[in-house]
Amino acid sequence: MLSEADLNIIFYIIFLLSGLPLSYKYAVFMVKHTGMVIPHFFISLMMNLCVGTLGIIGWIFYAPKISLYFTLGGIYLGAWITAISLILLFTVLLVKRKALLKSFEH
């Protein structure tokens, strides 16, 4: 059976990972409808960063009840997941940029 700490780690990771598809969907929708690439890519990156930051702040409020090492480990995990998510989002959006602009023209 999973403990409360295990469940919180699982939901923490799911919350952090949810920023990627959410911000990607935003960028794709807005570029297809407005044709502006740079502003919407920037906004989607900031959305992803905000989700990661909110997740880490929530972790900081929860985790010290368990232990200092649990807190620090969660902060490092959240920072790495957020950083990888930002890099992945930026890369995917750059690769899909031309296809998104073609769909705007049609």
For 1-36, b where at least 16 C-beta lie within 10 A, e where not — what string?
eeeeeeebbeebeebbbebbeebbeebbebbbeeee
Compute the average pLDDT of residues 86-103. 90
pLDDT at 106: 66
Distance of alpha carbon 15 from alpha carbon 37, whole angstroms = 26
Contact yes or no for 27/93 (Cβ under 8 A): yes
C-alpha closest to that of 74 among 53, 87, 60, 54: 60
Contact yes or no for 42/23 (Cβ under 8 A): no
Q: Note the pTM of the prediction, 2 decimals.
A: 0.88
Distance of alpha carbon 50 from alpha carbon 42, whole angstroms = 12
Q: Quick: pLDDT tens for 52-69.
A: 999 999 999 988 888 899
